[in-house]
Copies of this chain bind each other. A is one copy, B any other.
Amino acid sequence: MHNKQVLVEVCFSPRQFELYKEQFDICVVIDVLRATSAICAGIENGVNSIIPVATIEEAQALQKKGYIAAAERNGEIVEGFDFGNSPYAFMDPSLKGKDVVLSTTNGTQAVHTARDMETVVIGSLNNLEALSKWLIEQGKPVLLLASGWKNKFNLEDTICAGAIVDALLESRKFKSEEDSSIAAKFIYRSAKENIFSFLKASSHRRRLRRLNLNEDVKFCLTPNNNRCIPVLKDGAIVKLVHEEIAQD
């Protein structure tokens, strides 16, 4: 046994967060379809900061103050907002250097839930490898918080969490004790050869297919098209300084 191994565990839903949070320094918030994929895309492509807010009312208030604001509920752009949580929208060159307010059905709520943790970073399949490498370097206990769907378990966030568990356990610096972590890793290993196909029955993919969002889904399910680690600082999500140094 490695006595110095630290914990990496998976929490399936923000509603379960209170039961898991005590032992962890770092919380990774995951909402693969599509909030955290969009945040990674935006920060990687030069958006200065993304301000996550839980309610539409908060987003509207900041919009009135002059912020660019994005809002999504149930997969659709909320009326009166510039865009929703499509990663392609966040890659628009006109957003470079800007601060963008974002409110979504699940992901920004999950960030809100995790906000008091020592460190909150944003995870997706897109930044899987870069994030896992950084987490291993930190060597601190990690809680992976799946945003789920309206506080229920979902498959795509579980697969992403399982992928991070798998990478961290392989470093031998981490251990998992919760059954949720064992299950997430198992589901990821079963799905990893073709995540798109594995998810074809999932409830949220069906929802997005009805909304003609298959291009977004393909983008969000592509591992490692992004090296960025977004981190929550004073209520806004910004690029982790560590990454900037590493890239210089």
Q: Which residues of A line the B interface, CB within 8 A?
A: 12-13, 15-16, 19-20, 149-155, 158, 177-180, 182-183, 186-187, 190, 201-204
Take A12-B12, A186-B190 as given contacts and tell me if A19 and B179 are in contact as well, using a CB distance cutoff of 8 Å: no
| Minimum CB distance partner of A180 in chain B | B153
Residues of B within 8 A of A201 (CB): 182
Interface centre among A150, A158, A202, A203, by most chain B C-beta atoms within 10 angstroms, is A203
Partner of A202, one of B20, B182, B204: B182
Q: Are B19 and A150 in contact (CB under 8 A)?
A: yes
Q: How far is the CA of A190 from the CA of B204 in the complex (A)?
A: 23
| Minimum CB distance partner of A151 in chain B | B19
Q: Shortest distance in angstroms between A242's beta carbon and chain B's nearest beta carbon?
A: 32
Q: Are A152 and B183 in contact (CB under 8 A)?
A: no
Q: Shortest distance in angstroms between A205's beta carbon and chain B's nearest beta carbon?
A: 10
Residues of B within 8 A of A203 (CB): 177-179, 182
Q: Shortest distance in angstroms between A110's beta carbon and chain B's nearest beta carbon?
A: 15
Q: Shortest distance in angstroms between A60's beta carbon and chain B's nearest beta carbon?
A: 27
Take A12-B12, A190-B186, A190-B190 as given contacts and tell me if A179 and B150 are in contact as well, using a CB distance cutoff of 8 Å: no
Partner of A155, one of B12, B15, B183, B204: B183
Q: How far is the CA of A154 from the CA of B183 in the complex (A)?
A: 9
| Minimum CB distance partner of A202 in chain B | B179
Q: How far is the CA of A150 from the CA of B19 in the complex (A)?
A: 9
